[in-house]
Amino acid sequence: MNWIDTHAHLYSDNFDSDRPAMVDRAIRQGVGTMLLPNIDEDSIGAMLALEAAFPEHCLPMMGIHPVYVKENVEEQLAIVRKWLEARKFWGVGEIGLDFYWDQTFREQQFRAFRSQISMALEFDLPIAIHSREATRACIDVVK
């Protein structure tokens, strides 16, 4: 059986000490596919390096995690678009709304979420949604 992990930030610094061994363990346990949702522009390099190390198992997605959406949301969205145009990704993610920690950039989160859904439709890709303290709002945006 081939299990799929639909949400694995395995490229995070937290896993620097044992990343290859951890991925190997997952594969041996039957997790043959690990989808890697992007966080922001700073995580792209590490995410793509993990894909290069395990191209049959680690599949990158492109997006901006809502917690990382800032005042420069248009610049962030331009980076997402540039990458989606440049190469294959397996989804648009991790996108959504997060009103748990900080609501300073609430309107920018809505802008980023809507824009990335539009990009997913344009590039015919699925989306990976993050929602925290924002379930109803996320449902309304997706509708």
20-40 tens-digit pLDDT = 999 999 999 999 999 999 999
Mean pLDDT of 66-75: 97
pLDDT category, 112, cuts 50, 70, 90? very high
CATH topology of domain 3-142: TIM Barrel (3.20.20)
Contacts of 90 (CB under 8 A, 6+ apart): 35, 59, 60, 61, 125, 126
Say what the pTM is: 0.94
Instruction: Kindly report the average pLDDT of the chain as a whole number.
Output: 96
pLDDT at 19 over 90: yes
pLDDT at 133 over 80: yes
Distance of CA 98 to the CA centre of its chain: 14
Residue boundaries of the structural domains of the chain: 3-142
69 touches 101 (CB < 8 A): no
pLDDT at 98 over 90: yes
pLDDT at 1 over 80: no
